[in-house]
Amino acid sequence: MYIDKISKQYKGQVHTQYLLRTSKREDKKIIKTTILNLTGLGKETCEAMIYALKHKLNVLMHV
């Protein structure tokens, strides 16, 4: 499970989506499945969640 940050440009504006996803391999293809759209939580919250997942051992030790 991971958080995928997707940025798209439309009419000169950049739109960013944060998606909670899983991935699995079927034959030679990688299949991504979106579990939850996290965009509505806000940029700061999503970035904090990405940081926490990348540094989960450090975050758990400081609790």
| Domain chopping of the chain, boundaries | 2-61
Provide DSSP, 14-37: EEEEEEEEEEEEETTEEEEEEEEE
pTM: 0.75
Please choose, from the candidates 50, 63, 48, the residue with its C-alpha nearest in 3D space to the C-alpha of residue 2: 50
> How far apart, in whole angstroms, are the C-alpha atoms of residue 26 and residue 17?
25
Residues whose CB falls within 8 Å of the CB of residue 57, separated by 6 or more in sequence, listed in order: none
Whether the per-residue pLDDT at 58 is higher than 90: the answer is no
Q: What is the pLDDT of residues 4-56, one digit of tens each?
A: 999 999 999 999 999 999 999 999 999 999 999 999 999 999 999 888 888 87
